[in-house]
Amino acid sequence: MTRGQQTDMYQMSRPLLLVIAMLFLSHSASFAQRQVNKEAHFKRIYPVANEQLEAGKAQRAVKNFSDLLAIDSTNALINYKVGRSYLLLNGEKNKAVPYLEKAVANASAKAKDNYKGKEAPLDALFYLGRAYHLDFQFDNAIAAYRKYMKDEKITDKERIAEIEWMIQCCLNGKMIVDSPISATTENLGENINSVYDEYSAVVDATESMLIFTSRRPTSTGGLLDLDDKYFEDIFVSQKQEDGSWGKPASIGLKINTEGHEATIGLSADGQELYIYRDDFGDGNIYVCDFKGSNWSEPRLLNDNVNSPFRETHASVSADGQTLYYTSDKAGEGGMDIFRSKRLPTGEWAVSENLGEVVNTKYDEEAPFIHPDGKTLFFSSKGHSSMGGYDIFFSIEENGKWSTPMNVGFPMNTADDEYFFVMSADGKRAYYSSSNGGGLGGKDIFLVRLDTDRDVPLTVYKGEIVPNAEGKRPEGVTVRITDNETGELFGIYRPQSDNGKFVLILHPGGNYNIAYEADGYLFKSEKLFVPENTAYFEINRAIQLKPIDLNK
């Protein structure tokens, strides 16, 4: 190449070199700008998302932390925050696993909780253990819990006891899942459940009416609580002719207010509804009566039940004479189950704690006394729980409670199951779960038990029918006594709009059932229920004759 050719090539290369230099400088400036924008974005979003997480507003926290993760997917701290947020979301907790797995890969005791942080704190191992636990990965959960205690060098006895209990729950879970009960569970569907929380369903002995709690936008006042969920309201659904549940309606403004109202118990005849009201954090039990076709305004139960502490759930026996309820007043620890007897005045007597066989140092909640009068279902974080609240049952014989038994998998999971109510014949049950597999949040499920065993009960379904003139007596009283001793078993009043009532009769009972109403002739019948009777239903129409003053 000649000197002239070299000169020409050099002159031609100068513009090209200039372009390359400009592109490089432009790219460098753009990269620097993106870095500035990224840091500014993290600085703006991170504290907001963190505040949402700490306030329990998990849905918003997931959205904002995921926005940061889209910019820096390898950031262990942000993965940690997304995982923790998912652990707060009912029905989505298993989504926490992959995020927390990424977080523990870069966890450090020197991790900083700010927008510049890249490392996850060491307790990411604990939360990963929790995520594995909820996802039925029990062996992985145990390994994560133990590694967390070792790496963190935990010496606090209470914290060690807490984690050791979680490990025990995993061991319980392995055994329970390996021996599932024969049952099928089904979501009650979109007529009852929604993307919001539904729970605490109660039914009468005939399963014709379902009353439940929901936190949907149509709640009275439409207000959001601090957890970003709508306030609780009570809804009612009627069973349709095809056996499905009809579209629910609000129970009405006599009961639902702008505050929290929740269903907790329903009498066997469907005429006494027990509800919970928050009462500015105090938490109290109220009762409403079904009169005609409407519910009365709630009445606060007396001081023998309610206290300056929190009373959260209640269930009344089929004869209406015994109330089982939960409270965190002095007991075995946490929330305990108490019992009160109804006095002749109709008020509740001084309560008794059910004792250490039923209650533990952990929380017990949501008692339900079966119509048989002796089988108590409840939820507990203690006993042989596989994690969170599990459903248990205990049977009272001769004044003593049996050791509570876990009702098993698939009804119980590693998450929370509670608000369990069983049909009178013992073949169906309704309960609430937040383990996913539903429409969103907590959902209400129906479980059908694969059993040929009948609960030895007789359900007497009566109806006071109109007389020959088409008039139905008002103010009818149904009185049940023992034929041999005259002992009063209970006094019942039929529904004023349709005359229907329900009685629960036990095997071996020799009953006298008397019907009285002003202006009508007294009527009674004798009914003996054999000792070995299986579940049986009696449908009876009762017609009372008016008193003829001319005779």
Whether 130 and 83 have beta carbons less than 8 Å apart is answered as: no
By CB atoms closer than 10 A (0-12, 13-18, 19+), residue 103 is buried
pLDDT digits (tens, 9 = 90+) for 230-263: 999 999 999 999 999 999 999 999 999 998 999 9
Q: Identify the CA nearest to 172 among candidates 359, 375, 444, 392.
A: 392
Among 132, 244, 149, which Cα is nearest to 189's?
A: 244
pLDDT of residue 14: 55
Could you report how far apart the first and last alpha carbons of the chain are, in Å? 143
Q: How far is CA 181 from the centre of its chain?
A: 21
Structure tokens at 88: 């707060």
Report residue 69 as tokens: 């993760």
The DSSP bridge pattern shows strands 443-449 and 183-187 to be antiparallel
Q: What amino acid is encoded at 344 in this protein?
A: P
In this structure, what token pair is assigned to residue 95? 């989504």
Mean pLDDT of 206-220: 94
Asked which of 95-104, 362-371, 447-456 is least confident by mean pLDDT, the reply is 447-456
Is the pLDDT assigned to residue 436 strictly greater than 90? no
**Closest to 520 in 3D by CA, of 548, 480, 481:** 548
Q: Do the beta carbons of residue 519 and residue 473 sit within 8 Å? A: yes
Question: In the CATH scheme, what is the homologous superfamily, with its name and number, of domain 3-178?
Answer: Tetratricopeptide repeat domain (1.25.40.10)
CA 403 to chain centre: 23
Per-residue pLDDT averaged across 190-209, rounded? Answer: 93
The answer to whether 489 and 480 are in contact (CB under 8 A) is: yes
Contact 131, 88 (CB under 8 A): no
What are the Cα distances from residue 75, in Å, to 231, 367, 394?
36, 45, 49
Closest CA to 491 of 510, 476, 509, 506: 476
CA-closest candidate to residue 367, choices 426, 300, 428, 311 = 311
Question: How much of the chain, in percent, has pLDDT values that exceed 70?
Answer: 93
Token pair belonging to 176:
């329970």
Q: What is the C-alpha to C-alpha distance for residues 378 and 419, in angstroms, rounded to an integer?
A: 8
**Rg of the chain over CA atoms, in angstroms?**
31
At residue 418, the 3 state secondary structure works out as strand
Query: In this structure, are residues 199 and 181 in contact, taking their beta carbons and an 8 Å threshold?
Result: no
Which sequence spans correspond to the domains of the chain? 3-178, 183-449, 458-542
Task: Find out whether 433 and 389 touch, Cβ atoms under 8 Å.
Answer: no
Task: Note whether 324 and 314 are within 8 A (CB).
Answer: yes
pLDDT band for 67, please (50, 70, 90 cuts). very high
pLDDT(353) > 60 = yes
Rounded distance between C-alpha atoms, residue 79 and residue 77, angstroms: 5
Helix, strand or coil, per DSSP, at residue 344: coil
**Sign of the CA dihedral with 98 first, then 101, 102, and 108 last:** positive
458-542, CATH topology level: Immunoglobulin-like (2.60.40)
For the ranges 17-31, 152-166, 187-201, 441-455, which has the lowest average pLDDT?
17-31
Is pLDDT of 380 > 50? yes
* Element of type H or E holding 46: helix 3-54
Q: What pLDDT does 551 receive? A: 62
CA angle, residues 27, 32, 34, in degrees to nearest 5: 95
Nearest residue to 237 (alpha-carbon basis) of 287, 290, 190, 192: 192
pLDDT band at 533 (very low <50, low <70, confident <90, very high): confident
What is the fold of 183-449?
Neuraminidase (2.120.10)
Mean pLDDT score across all residues of the chain: 90
Q: 434 pLDDT band (50/70/90 cuts)?
A: confident
Strand locations in 283-374 (E): 284-291, 294-295, 299-300, 311-316, 322-327, 336-341, 352-353, 364-369
Q: 318-328: per-residue pLDDT in tens? A: 999 999 999 99
Is the model's pLDDT at 25 over the cut of 80?
no
Model confidence at 7: pLDDT above 60:
no
> What is the per-residue pLDDT for 13?
53
The candidate with the shortest Cα–Cα distance to 353, out of 364, 369, 338, is: 338
pLDDT score for 59:
92
